Amino acid sequence: MFPGKQTLTALLLVLLLLPTGRTLAGDRCNRAWNWYQEGLGLSDNSTREAFCYQRALELCPDLVEAYTRLGEVYRNQGREKLALAVLRRGRIHSLTSNTFTREPGSGRVFIQPLVTSGEIYRRQGRYDQAAAEFQRALGVEPGSLFAQNQLQYIYKRQDRYASILPPRIQMMTTAIFARIPGMTLPKGGFLLDAQYQTWIQTAPAFEYQLADTVPFLPMDVPELDLPQEIPFNFAPLQRKSQVNLWVLGIRYGLTNNLTIGLMPKFFIRESEVRLEAWDEVATPEVSGFGDTVFMLKYRLYGERRNHLSIYNLLSIPTGDENANGQDKGIFRWIPLGSGSFDFTPGISFSSGRDPYTVQGNLQYRITDGVEVGDELDANLALIWPLNKAVNSLLELNYRWRGEARKKQRIILMKARPEFIGPSFDPVAAGAVEVDTWFTEKGGSTLFVSPGMQFTVARGLKLEVGVKIPVVKEDDGWQEGLVLHVGMTKTIF
Amino acid sequence: MQNASLSITVLSMAVLVGLGTLVASAGPARATSLVPAMARPAIVMEDNAVFQNNRSGIRVRGSLPVAIRGGKVYQNGRAGINLQDQAETTVSRCEIFANHNAGINLRNATRFLLANSSIHQNGTGGLRIRTAAGRANHTRADVIDSRIFRNHQDGILSWPAGDSRVQLTVRGDRIFRNRKAGIRVENRTFFQAADNRIRANGTAGISSWSDGTSPPLLDIYRNTIAFNRGSGINVDSGITGKDAISNNWIHNNLRAGIACGILGSSRRRRINVRILNNTIVGNGSEVEGAGIRADVGSAVEIVNNIIAYNFTSGILTTDCDDYSHNLLFANGEAPNCCTDQGRIPFWVEKIQYASCPGRGSGGLITDPMFVDPDRYNFFLQPDSPARGAGKDIYGAGGLFSAGIDMGATGGPHGFREDRTPQGGTR
């Protein structure tokens, strides 16, 4: 069955007209572009200029630039209601046009009706509508400087300060483990911080010295005819302990260049004592306040993003240096403080380099060598903002610690292996306590420490980090992984 | 009407030419006049349409005074009007547009006046002024009451080489939507800009730069400089003259309001600038956004300005000095405060001054009380705290010796209250 003659004629006409129609539309848009250019050539906000854009839009309704410019002309003529209507039409046409999906940079053209509408709302004092338009524009084109500029003004007029600045131009931040930055607090400013850290530390001990006043244990086993005094022999010893530390710090800016701070510490320390004879592990534990640190920091040099300070940390012996714990009959001194005033002079710097910040410090703790040895710390931190609320950090932390003399009590009880003579109860046989001093070996460790900081409210940061030991002395004082959780609140 | 090849040489006679034209004159070069008025023209070209020539529409060489009036010069293959070699030319009531190169190109011209004309949509800028090194004469150019817009490079560019000099006066013009700077002056340009509206240009509104020889001499006052995509005024190198940078409305530029130096650049530059009695509002974006920024190595005195609602901070200086008697408000994250100047939170001060301590003597942090900032009307309300709070920097005992207003309405060049703030159009 063949189509009728009329149908064929109609099909032929449609085929002929399709390309012609496209050509006509293209020709109309070319002429519209000429009208648009003529309007731009006037650029005097005149009725004539408005007519040019109207004519352009009659010929080519998809010419979004003409809507934008016509809206601007109406706005500049004071006809704001009409301008908003034209811009609304422009936005609709821009959505239906496929021009903006295929041409590079088309986003900027697309957002022009939005930002111009927003700007008109601003003039009218309709801040909510203005902010909505600028936010919409930034959703399409985040780099629109005009929308950013207008939006910050709107926010300020509305007292909405929380979201104005991007992170790289906010105030400089402080690293997690290298906690002393080069900046000082502004006069009258407070910084509160709470930290929790936990780690396991091990240290070899050597050179036991028995106190002079303690007699040797008489070996009262007559049937074996043993000598009354025998010398002590100690196997190599390693002290291992789990430390949980809470630090509550408060710092205050006395002047712009002088900051003081007080940092009390609270410890829970648990030592691990392996009892080979009983195949058990005793874990004597102590808890209580440790030494309190008083900080005095002076900024030597400071301009906007580069700061250099010197400081001293005075360790006040508020911790009990005689703290002790017992477990399974095992007694152990686990000092919470050094028992002496220690000084830690240091120098620190911070340098902001958009978008990152570098911070470092170097400090040396001078002690009397009892309970706590001298210590050198060198820290370098790189702080990189990931977005408005999140900082990533990477630190290098080096610590060297000197030897320290520590007090220890050894409890001696009569005992012998079962294959030697008759058995007896060693506890009932009595014990002799021997107070000794031993030397705990120092050592050095280099850590790599990643971390994250989260800004959860104005001036309030939460932070997590971990110190990973990468270079350490096997036979020296060393820490394992150090886990850190903290919170800082800045109050200016 | 087209003529791609015709050129006419005329010696000391008036011509009326409707096509591509070369006007030349013999005779000795004339000394540059210090008098603003132009010499009586020897040649007058009036009411011509000069278009679609392969080379320049009109080319003038030699010192014979020429006046071009009421013409249209457009779509020519090079500059619309090309003025060379001691040319002394007045262009008035002309429209010069869509030429392949600059609208008007001055190369070693002696004297030039542009008045009541439009220069737009030209390929390499609106007005370009260049002089060769070692010239005995200098170029003097005045641009008065004209519109220079939508050109594909700078609206006006002054570029003297070596020890040559350009004296450029731009007054009462509207310079907008050029793809680069509204006005860019370089090297030994003695530049005076007054009563202009410089808006929505692609980079800075006014840019001053030097290649290391002599910096431009700047007097920029009573202009409205707004919505430019760079800084309002960017002084990479420059020294201010007696009028300084004063009494300008500088608002909503997308970088700093006034920037001295380039952030992060270590190149040595010569900046000695006074910034007095400007009203600088709402400048900046995430890229950059202080009201006034003075970078390393620049000597910048900042007095009697009102600086408000700028993106990151009010005054950003590396040395934290040389500012006093400025009113700052709501710059950066610093909120809208403070009524009691004795009890301003330090952190508010610190943000306003970009971490610098102190406000300088006479500094205020409080609402300046603009008439209508939403509509860019930054005149002061009658009870504004900025009224009479400025420092006497215009000479003791004079008319303005006491009670100078801060901001663009204060001092001898100040905008008077009966003038509209020019915020309406872009």
Whether residue B277 is predicted with pLDDT greater than 80 in this model: the reply is yes
In whole angstroms, what is the distance from residue A421 CA to residue A221 CA? 9
Whether residue B244 is predicted with pLDDT greater than 90 in this model: the reply is yes
Chain A nearest CA to B416, separation (Å): 23
**CA pseudo-torsion sign B170, B175, B178, B182:** positive
Indicate the number of domains in chain A: 2
> Do A263 and A378 sit in the same domain of this protein?
yes
Higher pLDDT, A13 or B224: B224
* A190-203 pLDDT tens trace: 889 999 999 998 87
> Do A151 and A223 sit in the same domain of this protein?
no
Q: State how far the alpha carbon of A451 is from the alpha carbons of A21, A175, A384, A437, A468, in Å.
A: 63, 9, 11, 39, 11
DSSP state of B134: T
A292-296, B7-11, B244-248, B361-365: lowest mean pLDDT where?
A: B7-11
* A113-166 pLDDT tens trace: 999 999 999 999 999 999 999 988 887 787 789 999 999 999 889 887 655 654
**Could you identify the residue written with the tokens 């999906």?**
A101
Residue A398, domain member (yes or no):
yes
Nearest CA in chain B to A306: B318
Among A116, A149, A165, the residue to mutate for chain B (most B Cβ within 10 A): A149
> Do A22 and A111 sit in the same domain of this protein?
yes
> Do A412 and A283 sit in the same domain of this protein?
yes
> Do A367 and A411 sit in the same domain of this protein?
yes
> Do A157 and A296 sit in the same domain of this protein?
no
Domain at A320, CATH number = 2.40.160.40
> Do A346 and A426 sit in the same domain of this protein?
yes
Q: pLDDT tier at A207 (50, 70, 90 boundaries)?
A: low
Residue A180, domain member (yes or no):
no
Q: pLDDT tier at B16 (50, 70, 90 boundaries)?
A: very low
Q: Mean pLDDT in chain B?
A: 84
* B170-195 pLDDT tens trace: 999 999 999 999 999 999 999 999 99
* A235-268 pLDDT tens trace: 556 778 889 999 999 999 887 788 999 999 999 9
Among A108, A116, A156, A489, the residue to mutate for chain B (most B Cβ within 10 A): A156
Selection from A63, A69, A64 nearest residue A51 by Cα: A69
| Angle of CA points B287, B293, B295, to nearest 5° | 100
Residue A273, domain member (yes or no):
yes
Complex ipTM value: 0.89
Residue A119, domain member (yes or no):
yes
Among the candidates A130, A164, A198, a domain finishes at A164
Residue A178, domain member (yes or no):
no
* Whether B122 contacts B148, CB under 8 Å: no
Cβ pairs bridging A and B (under 8 Å): 105
- Region of B378 (left: φ > 0; alpha: ψ -120 to 50; beta: rest) is alpha
Whether residue A97 is predicted with pLDDT greater than 90 in this model: the reply is no
Residue A172, domain member (yes or no):
no
* B102-158 pLDDT tens trace: 999 999 999 999 999 999 999 999 999 999 887 667 899 999 999 999 999 999 999
> Do A199 and A291 sit in the same domain of this protein?
yes
> Do A245 and A381 sit in the same domain of this protein?
yes
Residue A236, domain member (yes or no):
yes
What is the reported pLDDT for B6?
34
What are the residues of chain B with a beta carbon less than 8 Å away from any beta carbon of chain A?
97-98, 120-121, 147, 149-150, 176-177, 227, 229, 252, 254, 282-287, 289, 309, 311-312, 316, 318-320, 330, 332-333, 335-336, 345-347, 350, 354-357, 374-375, 424-426
Residues of chain A in contact with residue B204, where contact means CB-CB under 8 angstroms, are: none
Residue A321, domain member (yes or no):
yes
Which token pair is B341? 């100047």
Domain at A93, CATH number = 1.25.40.10
In whole angstroms, what is the distance from residue B184 CA to residue B165 CA? 15
> Do A242 and A346 sit in the same domain of this protein?
yes
> Do A417 and A295 sit in the same domain of this protein?
yes
Q: Check A149 against B311: CB less than 8 A apart.
A: yes
Domain of residue A56: give its range.
5-164
> Do A288 and A152 sit in the same domain of this protein?
no
Among B75, B262, B285, the residue to mutate for chain A (most A Cβ within 10 A): B285
